[in-house]
Structure 1
Amino acid sequence: MKKIFFVLLPLTLLISSMSGAQQRIVSLNGAISEMLCSLGLESQIAGVDVTSNFPASLRQKASVGHNRNISAEGILALHPTLILGVKDELKPEVLEQLKSANVKVQLIPQAFSAEGTRTMLTEIAKVTNTVEKGKELLSKFDKEMAALKIAPTGKKVLFVYARGAGSMTVCGTGQSPDHMIKLAGASNAMTDFKDFKPLSAEAVVAANPDVILLFDSGLQSVGGVDGLLKVPGVSSTNAGKNKKIISMDGQFLSGFGLRLPQAIQQLNKKIIG
């Protein structure tokens, strides 16, 4: 019996190892990809969307494009066994194609809050059978959130999404930058509309923000601080007069992943600095 036991044990481990190797995950969201890596599943990620840039090693993974503009063919070409994305971000026709291919698709709701981050982590841990590791990460996240000391700054912050000087929008309520600004102890300079609207000189001057916030890539696309100050209306604001223009990495600022506590702290420091 002992001989049989010692023969079967390596065989069991081999089968288990092979089973783990067969898991191929495609992640369509940066926060999801970050959580998968923290759960110890990076080696099982077969492909990611363009927002999946942390940790940096994810840039070596196959890319399926932007999560709002991807094709089922590009995803299925990676032979996934599990596709993870955010609810309402995947086009219905793409979702239907993926389901028709008999691939498991799990779409997770995303709320722009600490509670939303907790829910996302819990759901991912559940679907990937890493519940215990998920509990460890959740405990760490909760401690980091509890340790934050964010006092009201009294500052009005305008978030500008830029893809060059000819393509600029400003953030109203309900979007991730709006929630981040509030978590960082400031107020959104634009509160009379939801989502995003094209930037206009009149609206910017009327809002008169104390601080203008962009993604790092967005600020670069308009020629840095000097380039942004040339945009009509900007130089007439308090932010423009004081050259109080700040930027952060896009995924870090707006992803609402496990680095949320650090992102809140960094934004707060930039606003008051």
Structure 2
Amino acid sequence: MLIAVSTVVPAQRIVSTDGTLSEIICGLGLQPKIVGVDVTSTFPAALKKLRQIGHNRNISAEGVLSLNPDLILVNSKASLNPKLVGQLKQTGKKVAVFDHEYSIEGTKKLIREVGAYFSKEAEAEIMVKKIDRDLAAVKRGRGSKKVLFIYARGAGTLMVSGEATQVDRMIRLSGNKNAATGFKEYKPLTSEAVLAANPDYLLLFEDGLKSLGGVDGLLKVPGVAHTKAGKNRKIIEMDGLFLMGFGPRVGAALAELSEKIR
């Protein structure tokens, strides 16, 4: 569902506050019009060369407006400061707020709505069909493998993903189980919880695993080395936006995750 936007306006200077929206815009052929992005906008790689407006949790209206955009893209599900959208609208700038449901059908719907907003329906359908082709190649598990996702920013910041998160949905879509149950969203990792979950696989973002010093560093985290995953060095690393963005590459991400959980 497209929220608060009903008029199509030719945009020449676009600022995107969400990585998935940035990826979709590029897929529509509008990459040259993007002048600024948030830090989650990492694909295609050329976006990294654009002006950065920060992480969606700390984006400021001043930083966005300094790029003189005529259109600002917002994901209603992102962790933006609630006051930010209001501040941007008060300036008279065009703000397009899209609702993103983190599911396969929700992804297709988002792509089609963004495509319709920019009168790029044909390009949007190409992306949707690519998702269907990628999904057809997914070899789902039989639900027998337990996967624990660890969000890491060095050993001092370790969280595990419970139910109702994007990663949880991807694990379940792959035909496997989230090893962390009984709570929603994220909570701090503890050695007791890791041992109790005893996952078959550990899943991390690539930069998260790197922040721990790689696999050897991860195995030094209390409790990890004594799990099935730790003993067998069953560690999966994936790009963050690719794994949990629920964007045009969601089918490919699901295929890769399913292949790695064997």
Shorter-chain TM-score: which interval?
over 0.9
1:73-106 Cα offsets, whole Å, 9 max, x none, are 1111111111112104321211111001111111
Alignment correspondent of 1:50: 39
What is the DSSP-based 3-state SS (H/G/I as helix, E as strand, rest coil) of the residue aligned with 1:23? coil
Seen in structure 2, the aligned counterparts of structure 1 residues 186 and 216 have a Cα distance that, compared at 3 Å, is same
Alignment correspondent of 1:188: 178
What is the DSSP-based 3-state SS (H/G/I as helix, E as strand, rest coil) of the residue aligned with 1:204? helix
Corresponding residue to 1:79 among 50, 64, 68: 68
Instruction: Name which of structure 1's ranges 122-131 and 67-76 shifts more when overlaid on structure 2.
Output: 122-131
Alignment correspondent of 2:5: none
Corresponding residue to 2:162 among 172, 179, 193: 172
Corresponding residue to 1:234 among 224, 232, 235: 224
Seen in structure 2, the aligned counterparts of structure 1 residues 147 and 237 have a Cα distance that, compared at 3 Å, is closer
The one-letter code matched in structure 2 to 1:85 is: V
Check conservation: 2:151, 2:205, Cα contact below 8 A.
yes
Instruction: Name which of structure 1's ranges 137-146 and 220-229 shifts more when overlaid on structure 2.
Output: 137-146
Seen in structure 2, the aligned counterparts of structure 1 residues 88 and 256 have a Cα distance that, compared at 3 Å, is closer
For structure 1, the 5+ residue unaligned runs are 1-18
Alignment correspondent of 1:140: 130
Give the whole-Å Cα distance in 1 for the aligned partners of 2:170 and 2:110.
17
The one-letter code matched in structure 2 to 1:239 is: A
Give the whole-Å Cα distance in 2 for the aligned partners of 1:48 and 1:68.
13
Alignment correspondent of 1:41: 30
The one-letter code matched in structure 2 to 1:145 is: L
What is the DSSP-based 3-state SS (H/G/I as helix, E as strand, rest coil) of the residue aligned with 1:106? strand
Give the whole-Å Cα distance in 2 for the aligned partners of 1:254 and 1:35.
15
The one-letter code matched in structure 2 to 1:265 is: A
The one-letter code matched in structure 2 to 1:136 is: I
Max Rg structure: 1
What is the DSSP-based 3-state SS (H/G/I as helix, E as strand, rest coil) of the residue aligned with 1:85? strand
Corresponding residue to 1:109 among 92, 95, 99: 99
Give TM-score scaled by structure 2 length.
0.92
Give the whole-Å Cα distance in 1 for the aligned partners of 2:137 and 2:226.
38
RMSD of aligned Cα (Å): 1.5
The one-letter code matched in structure 1 to 2:61 is: A
For structure 2, the 5+ residue unaligned runs are 1-8
The one-letter code matched in structure 2 to 1:135 is: E
Whose RCO is larger (CA < 8 A, sep 6+)?
2
Give the whole-Å Cα distance in 2 for the aligned partners of 1:79 and 1:177.
35
Corresponding residue to 2:114 among 124, 140, 160: 124
Higher relative helix content? 1
The one-letter code matched in structure 2 to 1:255 is: G
Give the whole-Å Cα distance in 2 for the aligned partners of 1:140 and 1:165.
38
What is the CA distance between 1:181 and its match in structure 2?
0.8
The one-letter code matched in structure 2 to 1:69 is: N
2:51 paired with 1:62: yes
Check conservation: 2:139, 2:258, Cα contact below 8 A.
no
What is the DSSP-based 3-state SS (H/G/I as helix, E as strand, rest coil) of the residue aligned with 2:181? coil
Check conservation: 2:137, 2:255, Cα contact below 8 A.
no
1:122-164 Cα offsets, whole Å, 9 max, x none, are 1211222212322232233233323433242510000000000
What is the CA distance between 1:23 and its match in structure 2?
1.6
Q: Percent identical across equivalent pairs?
A: 51
Give the whole-Å Cα distance in 1 for the aligned partners of 2:245 and 2:202.
19
Seen in structure 2, the aligned counterparts of structure 1 residues 147 and 246 have a Cα distance that, compared at 3 Å, is closer
Aligned pair count reads 253
What is the DSSP-based 3-state SS (H/G/I as helix, E as strand, rest coil) of the residue aligned with 1:107? strand
Check conservation: 2:134, 2:255, Cα contact below 8 A.
no
Seen in structure 2, the aligned counterparts of structure 1 residues 225 and 140 have a Cα distance that, compared at 3 Å, is closer
